[in-house]
Amino acid sequence: MSAEFLLRRRRRRQWLRRRTVFVVAALTRADTPGRQSAVLSGVNDIETELRKRVFDAARAFFATAHAPKPFVPGVTYVPVTAKVIDERDLVSLLDASLDLWLTAGRFSRDLEAKLPARMNRKGNALLVNSGSSANLVAISALGSPMLRDFNVKPLERGDEVITAAAGFPTTLNPIIQNGWVPVLIDVDFATLNALPETVMAARSAKTRAVVLAHTLGNPYRVDKIAEWCRREGLFLVEDCCDALGATLQTATDSGAAAAPVGSFGDYATLSFYPAHHITTGEGGAVIARDGRMRRAVESLRDWGRDCWCEPGKDNTCGKRFAWTFDGLPCGYDHKYVYSTIGYNLKMTDMQAAIGLSQLDKLDGFIAARRRNWQTLFDAVTSNPALSEGLIPVRATPGTEPSWFGFPMHCANGVDREKLTRFLEEHKVGTRLLFGSNLAKQPAYKGIEFRRHGDLAASDEILKRTFWIGVHPGLDAARISYMVEQLEAAVKAARR
């Protein structure tokens, strides 16, 4: 440390000590409102200075403890997903921690206010503790009795919900958990997404909703599906957990425009697990079409209560003890009236503080993911050894993906298990397309569902598909190594 830095630090400490002595002495003499206000101002000055010292120490700690480590090919593991955290995230986390509010507070309110704009929505998002919880409350809200308050019929036991067979289990599970019947449809092998015509053909007289994920950040044609759902009176839930920032080209009165995923359905869901586009550690969010739909989700998230007060607040409605509910005494405390069978799935303010800091960097993260995907795509398609052994998944026509990974199918004659084992042994992380054909997974044996078609593409995905990373933590050296190992793996996996 320089002599100048040490001198500045000593002077700041001397000022803080003098200021503290002054404020403590003033507290004993603060016998008027004016004097009390002056004392409080002094306390705030001390708190601000102390926070600044904590933040400065945190930045120094981060620079030392979390300095980038050199990449050693064949030794350093290249993960398929990774969070990208910097000192700003740490400072934001500490800022929330020093408040000691702990549950949802000022950072949660800010994040809930800022997220909907990313999906061309108004109002506030609802933060939850995971993307799976986001799916749980968004899908479950389709059966909420609160929908009747604005003349919408909720889903009932035995109703059908169309969803893709190939995907992640917590897109499917809430359908089953609510007593509805999943209608499993196949996906397009080239894009990993359900096609609008397949969705439409799967409908029966019992169908009430469509729930689909934008697979690995590659959008399906949700614009066409949403239009059809509106015509047919069906609910639509967009699982955007892997796709924050993806867009579709849509026609408007002024020409073509890019519309974000999440702006078409009744609900959109997000995940902030460390693997995703931004992270809060664990966490997720639901963005509703309007305030009435949001209300149904909020109740499910917050124990099922009828009250909508934020943590630490009372009587937001202005008539806390003036409500009337069948079976309850007149004026029963509204904070303890329960209209739905709910949960407690809220996010903490510390998590939200990281999310706010991460949100400021989202555009850069998305650009890096797209750039890394393109580099891998060009490498695979321009190399005969790779292009003959691997078939990259393509972007859905008319969309701009926000890639979560780089998915590929193994060509005939290439053994996927041998290939992924080779890559992992050589320090390149791999993943399958989650549960692939979920109808084949052990958890769903004996579960009632309707199968539309033969699910042939989902069966091929079960046997041939995998993906590697495109996250912003990858640099040129790591991507070059990944490509080298892909080529070696294809050769090793030939049958």
What are the strands, taking DSSP E only, across 24-155? Answer: 126-128
Please enumerate in sequence order all residues whose Cβ is within 8 A of that of 115, keeping only pairs 6 or more positions apart, or say none.
Answer: 125, 270, 285, 287, 359
CATH superfamily of 362-492: Aspartate Aminotransferase, domain 1 (3.90.1150.10)
CA pair distance 481, 483, nearest whole angstrom = 5
CA pair distance 402, 369, nearest whole angstrom = 7
pLDDT, position 182: 98
Classify residue 302 by its DSSP letter. Answer: B
Secondary structure element (H or E) that encloses residue 250, with its range: strand 247-252
Which pair of structure tokens corresponds to residue 89?
Answer: 């995230």
CA pair distance 319, 302, nearest whole angstrom = 20
Hey, is 271 helix, strand or coil? strand
Give the length of the chain: 495
CA pair distance 54, 91, nearest whole angstrom = 9
Give the CA dihedral 482, 483, 485, 489, nearest 10 degrees. 120
Q: How many CB atoms lie within 10 A of CB 312?
A: 9
DSSP labels for 421-489?
HHHHHTTB--B-STTSBGGGSGGGTT---EE-S--HHHHHHHHHEEEE---TT--HHHHHHHHHHHHHH
- Please provide the distance, in angstroms rounded to a whole number, between the alpha carbons at the two ends of the chain: 61
pLDDT, position 250: 86
CA pair distance 260, 244, nearest whole angstrom = 8
Q: Which is it for strands 399-400 and 267-271: parallel, antiparallel or unpaired?
A: unpaired
Distances (CA, A) of 425 to 326, 353, 416, 417, 478: 64, 37, 14, 12, 16
pLDDT (tens, 9 = 90+) of the chain, 495 residues, equals 567 766 676 776 665 566 665 555 555 565 556 555 655 565 678 889 899 999 999 999 999 999 999 999 999 999 999 999 999 999 999 999 999 999 999 999 999 999 999 999 999 999 999 999 999 999 999 999 999 999 999 999 999 999 999 999 999 999 999 999 999 999 999 999 999 999 999 999 999 999 999 999 999 999 999 999 999 999 999 999 999 999 999 876 666 789 999 999 999 999 999 999 999 999 999 999 999 999 999 999 999 999 999 888 899 999 999 999 999 999 999 999 999 999 999 999 999 999 999 999 999 999 999 999 999 999 999 999 999 999 999 999 999 999 999 999 999 999 999 999 999 999 999 999 999 999 999 999 999 999 999 999 999 999 999 999 999 999 999 999 999 999 999 999 997
Instruction: Report which of 288, 289, 321, 294 is spatially closest to residue 308, judged by C-alpha positions.
Output: 294
pLDDT, position 33: 63
pLDDT, position 45: 82
CA pair distance 439, 344, nearest whole angstrom = 30
Q: How many degrees, rounded to 5, is the angle at CA 56 between CA 88 and CA 13?
A: 160
Edge-to-edge order in the sheet of strand 181-185:
126-128, 284-288, 267-271, 235-239, 207-213, 160-164, 181-185, 450-451
Q: Which residues are catalytic?
A: 276
Instruction: Report which of 339, 272, 291, 308 is spatially closest to residue 132, judged by C-alpha positions.
Output: 272
CA pair distance 293, 249, nearest whole angstrom = 26
pLDDT, position 24: 55
Which CATH architecture best describes the domain 95-311+339-359? 3-Layer(aba) Sandwich (3.40)
Hey, is 162 helix, strand or coil? strand
Instruction: Report which of 170, 134, 125, 93 is spatially closest to residue 283, judged by C-alpha positions.
Output: 134
Q: Which is it for strands 267-271 and 235-239: parallel, antiparallel or unpaired?
A: parallel
